[in-house]
Amino acid sequence: MSDTERLLSDKNIRWEAFKNATILVTGATGLIGKNLIKILVLASEELKLNIRILAQVRNREKTEKCFNEEIKRNCNIDFLVSDICDLKYCEGTIDYIVHCASITDSYSFANRPLEVIKTNVNGTFNALEIARNCKCKHFVYLSTMEVYGCPTDDGLIGEDYTGGFDTLTTRNSYPLSKLTCENICMGYMKEHDVPVTILRLTQTFGPGVEYDDKRVFAEFARRAMEKKDIVLHTKGETKRSYLYTVDAIKAILLSLVNDNSLGKKYNVANEQSYCSIYEMAQMVAEDIAEGKIKVVIDEGDTSNRGYAPTLCMNLDTSLIRKELGWKWETSLVDMYRNMIEDMKDNRKNRVSKEA
């Protein structure tokens, strides 16, 4: 069964709640945003839901590449070309909003902290103001595991865990601004009755990752595809769990149609994928590249790379599993296999178009 078939047949997702709904997705060309939209389009067509999608995007050319098939099929999508901080929308009711827009690369966290803070904080204010004015039924904010700071042991981290941050470290522009955005969400719920759920996602990947994505999971995948050794610039001691893109989307969909999630925050991760970066690199070298490459440690100056300090981010997902019926479906090995197959297809298509 394909990822999409699995979602469309999932009995826990009340697809009928989306019938004739208007759904705004910000950051629509990002990994989660674009996959969410593609699944909503298929659900609308196959389940005859007549969903109208509003997709906030910044770059029209990138949008046309990303949603080429949907545009050809004349799907019910309106592209709102605007920076999230400047987006204006006053054309009636929006039933659901999923706020994905954010800067997500570590280099920017360390070297462009003001842009990171501005995008997160001002963009979230703007998205919530749209939710308020358009009488939104449910607003889902995508937060991050990084709000927990730098835990140093393997203990499970529940939603009430609080971590400390050095406010003089520019890389903390990302987790501190995401925490601020969570508080802004609760402020809008308190003062303006905007119904909000917060999802704290761990590092997420799967089909839809660009071939030249600079994040560590994409770098490992490229190395496996190109049969080149994986080079780590640290000892790879940081440990975290991971999440498959479609499993993240399932959490979003379950949250949108479940009023029990209002005013709450949930960890979302595949707990079974918890491992160190070094262990993940070894898994890719052995299981994905079939032992044809090896892992090499070449430590050097990492001060401008934006790496987080060594940490142990072992997220406890018992709350979302208990309250919303969510569970992860895809193993770490299969996350890589599915992502690499998609990266190969995308690379092949790009080369053929350039030829």
- Say if 348 falls within a structural domain: no
pLDDT 10s digits, 73-118:
989 999 999 999 999 887 789 999 999 999 998 899 999 999 999 9
Q: Which domain holds residue 85?
A: 3-206+243-271+315-331
Distances (CA, A) of 285 to 11, 16, 205, 211, 297: 37, 44, 18, 18, 14
pLDDT value of residue 91: 78
- Please say if the pLDDT value at position 302 is more than 90: no
- Please say if the pLDDT value at position 300 is more than 90: no
Threshold 0.85, pTM exceeds: yes
Residue 316 CA to chain centroid, in angstroms? Answer: 18
pLDDT 10s digits, 5-38:
999 999 999 999 999 999 999 999 999 999 999 9
Tell me which amino acid residue 15 is. Answer: W
Q: Alpha helix locations (H) across the chain?
A: 3-8, 31-46, 60-66, 68-72, 106-111, 113-133, 173-192, 216-226, 245-256, 277-283, 318-324, 332-354
DSSP string, 20-38: T-EEEEESTTSHHHHHHHH
- Say if 280 falls within a structural domain: no
- Say if 227 falls within a structural domain: no
- Say if 301 falls within a structural domain: no
Band the pLDDT of 175: cuts 50, 70, 90.
very high
Q: Looking at residues 272-289, what average pLDDT do you find?
A: 98
Band the pLDDT of 355: cuts 50, 70, 90.
very low
pLDDT value of residue 306: 56
Mean pLDDT taken over the chain: 93
pLDDT value of residue 347: 72
Distance between CA atoms of residues 188 and 72, nearest Å? 38
- Say if 354 falls within a structural domain: no
Number of domains in the chain: 1
- Say if 193 falls within a structural domain: yes
Q: Looking at residues 290-314, what average pLDDT do you find?
A: 81
- Say if 253 falls within a structural domain: yes
Q: What is the CATH classification number for the domain harbouring 69?
A: 3.40.50.720
Q: Looking at residues 333-348, what average pLDDT do you find?
A: 91
Assess contact for 121 and 180: CB atoms under 8 A: yes
- Say if 344 falls within a structural domain: no
